[in-house]
Structure 1
Amino acid sequence: MSVYEMTKVDQSTAIGGSGNADDDDKKASDTKHQHVVKKSSEPGVINDAMLKNLIRAHGPRGEAARLCRNIAIDYGTITELCLEYQNILKIDHIWMCFNLQKLSLKANKLTIIENLDNLTELRELDLSFNFIKTIKNLECLRKLQYLTLFQNDIRKIDNLDRLEHLVRLNLGNNFIETVEGIESLRYKEQLFSLNLEGNPICDKLTDNIDFRLYIAAYLPKLKYYGYQVITNAERDKGQEIYKNKLRMLEENESERSTQRHKQSLEVELLRISGASFVEDLDKHQLFESLFANSFDNIVLDTETSLNDTNKSDIQL
């Protein structure tokens, strides 16, 4: 069986998978940082041939498949794309699929997140089991809801500010050593589930405090951590342990919120001032602008248009 003929089920069973991403991530925790890639050492390149073969491999079978081969693929109509286990070294050539809502690049050899700017409709992105070191180049994916970077080489939570609709974030089994960036997740109103298990940070907090309690305290809107519900008891205990730090954090947040509001007012004031600034207007621009949308002016324009039309008819 060729690489392109491998179905999703075949791909999952290739590493003993269940077909469920969350279950596979949990099982992978037992073999931390043993990256799973296709046995072939030949690097994969995302090109037109690969996309066509994979799309057709997941398409109709039998006679319908034969007929589809004679029809050109409209990449703009594709909403889901599975590019798993292809030894891909670089994200490329996907910009044509500008209506993609779900993209999986799981289990490849990627080191950089790139060339996704055109996928503005994307809701789900799976980059697990790669070699990515930095979270970046996701700013244009404003509609993204599910982001999976399980088992990569990430050391810091960063560059997620623009992903306002994020619901589930999986950064398990990486090399994150600092809580820096976790606090920024407080502002994500829709963030429902987070996984950071398998990172060094989970074992670095002092006084033998369970990392779950830190998450429960600092992310009050989060419902699930590590695929388990955060209980009210955990929330209360965490907030009691970190109450002094939380108080300081909330005070700083209040100050930042006031500053942001002040800055937005200043920007709006500048916009209004710029729109009403008349000193540099030439000749009769100000006078004409005052009457541009008046009723009399509209009637005059209409009469002028009719006169021009009549003149044209006479000439004919």
Structure 2
Amino acid sequence: MYETEEPTVVDEVMLQLAVEEQGPQGQAGLIAKEEGIELKDVLHLRLDYRHILKIDHLWQFTSLTKLQLDNNIIEKITGLDCLVNLVWLDLSFNHIEKIEGLDALVKLEDLSLSNNTISIIENMDTLGKLHVFSICNNNLSQLDNVIYLRKFTNLRALNLAGNSLATEECYQEFIAAYLPELAYLDFRLLSEETREKALAKYQYALEKLIHDETLALKAIETELKGGGDTEAQGSLCGVPEWPTAV
């Protein structure tokens, strides 16, 4: 599985070397090395092509906004809880099977999970600012799973190419209908013609979904106020995931 190269773990030595390599160069680099680079001040960090199996030791990078971990052998998304200022994260070309460990990344806008072995889009509820999401070349097979992304109202670009769901005849129209705010699908602008066909084809299904979503949100508002609306609470059975969007 790991060919001939020994798997590695992100440790303090790797991080210090990476920061020095990617920091100021020349005379400025020598001065920075002598004075010491504060890891809490580092904004960008590139850890690609290092045969990393496990993410660790990132707790000091509290100001980090961009993290590149692509082309490794990472199997599980962990160790990111302290990166609360992260805006851009690349975990493409790894061995990740499940989306998880992203709850603390509330400022994340650009996420790449392409070329992994993920079969379900899930566990992303806190990523309310997500703008670009690439999950091409994975094992996504259920087109209905894309409805989960409706909660991300800032999402404008989505890449699903290379998944079996993208071979469905109604693929583009389905995405255009259920994600009306989306501008780009698989690096191509969604045309007005596609949007019109999508709305016509899925009009009734969308009306029902929107009705159920509205009832679900009302149920949560009622619960937060300490009341109980029987009809609204009962509607949650039809949309079990939507309440987590609030």
TM-score higher than 0.5 here?
yes
Shift of the 71–238 alpha-carbon distance from structure 1 to 2, 3 Å rule, reads: same
**Structure 2 counterpart SS, 1:154:** coil
State which of 48, 53, 73 in structure 1 corresponds to 2:37: 73
Which digits, 9 at most, give the CA deviation of each residue in 1:204-230, with x for residues without a partner? x4xx33x11110011011111111111
Alpha-carbon distance between aligned partners in 1 of 2:127 and 2:137, rounded to the nearest angstrom: 22
Q: Is the 8 A contact 2:77 2:96 kept in 1?
A: yes
| In the alignment, structure 1 residue 108 sits paired with structure 2 residue 108 | no
AA at the equivalent of 2:225: L
**Structure 2 counterpart SS, 1:89:** strand
Q: Is the 8 A contact 1:193 1:223 kept in 2?
A: yes
AA at the equivalent of 2:70: K
Structure 2 unaligned blocks of 5 or more: 228-246
Q: Which residue of 2 aligns with 1:122?
A: 86
AA at the equivalent of 1:218: Y
AA at the equivalent of 1:201: L
AA at the equivalent of 2:218: T
Shift of 1:61: 2.7
Alpha-carbon distance between aligned partners in 2 of 1:158 and 1:147, rounded to the nearest angstrom: 13
**Structure 2 counterpart SS, 1:197:** coil
Give the number of the structure whose alpha-carbon radius of gyration is greater.
1
RMSD: 1.8
Runs of 4+ in 1 over 4 A off after TM superposition: none
| In the alignment, structure 1 residue 252 sits paired with structure 2 residue 216 | no
Which digits, 9 at most, give the CA deviation of each residue in 1:45-81, with x for residues without a partner? 2111111111111223333333332222211101111
Alpha-carbon distance between aligned partners in 2 of 1:158 and 1:81, rounded to the nearest angstrom: 26
State which of 199, 215, 225 in structure 1 corresponds to 2:175: 215
Shift of 1:253: 1.2
Alpha-carbon distance between aligned partners in 2 of 1:118 and 1:246, rounded to the nearest angstrom: 38
Instruction: Please give the TM-score of this superposition, normalised by the length of structure 1.
Output: 0.68
AA at the equivalent of 1:220: P
Alpha-carbon distance between aligned partners in 2 of 1:187 and 1:43, rounded to the nearest angstrom: 37
**Structure 2 counterpart SS, 1:147:** strand
Instruction: Say which structure is richer in helix.
Output: 1
Q: Which residue of 2 aligns with 1:225?
A: 185
Which digits, 9 at most, give the CA deviation of each residue in 1:258-295, with x for residues without a partner? 2122112227xxxxxxxxxxxxxxxxxxxxxxxxxxxx
Q: Is the 8 A contact 2:109 2:129 kept in 1?
A: yes
Alpha-carbon distance between aligned partners in 2 of 1:261 and 1:62, rounded to the nearest angstrom: 58
| In the alignment, structure 1 residue 163 sits paired with structure 2 residue 123 | no
| In the alignment, structure 1 residue 151 sits paired with structure 2 residue 111 | no
Identity across matched positions, percent: 33
**Structure 2 counterpart SS, 1:182:** helix
Q: Which residue of 2 aligns with 1:174?
A: 138
Shift of 1:184: 2.3
Q: Is the 8 A contact 2:121 2:148 kept in 1?
A: no
Which digits, 9 at most, give the CA deviation of each residue in 1:125-172, with x for residues without a partner? 100000100001111111111110011000000011111110010011
Q: Is the 8 A contact 1:157 1:180 kept in 2?
A: no
| In the alignment, structure 1 residue 140 sits paired with structure 2 residue 104 | yes
Alpha-carbon distance between aligned partners in 1 of 2:16 and 2:198, rounded to the nearest angstrom: 51
Alpha-carbon distance between aligned partners in 2 of 1:84 and 1:169, rounded to the nearest angstrom: 19
**Structure 2 counterpart SS, 1:255:** helix
Q: Is the 8 A contact 2:99 2:123 kept in 1?
A: yes
Alignment coverage as a number of residue pairs: 227
Shift of 1:240: 1.3
Q: Is the 8 A contact 2:59 2:83 kept in 1?
A: yes
**Structure 2 counterpart SS, 1:103:** strand
AA at the equivalent of 1:224: Y
Alpha-carbon distance between aligned partners in 2 of 1:180 and 1:216, rounded to the nearest angstrom: 13
State which of 128, 131, 135 in structure 1 corresponds to 2:95: 131
Q: Is the 8 A contact 2:71 2:92 kept in 1?
A: yes
| In the alignment, structure 1 residue 84 sits paired with structure 2 residue 48 | yes
Shift of 1:257: 1.9
**Structure 1 counterpart SS, 2:67:** strand
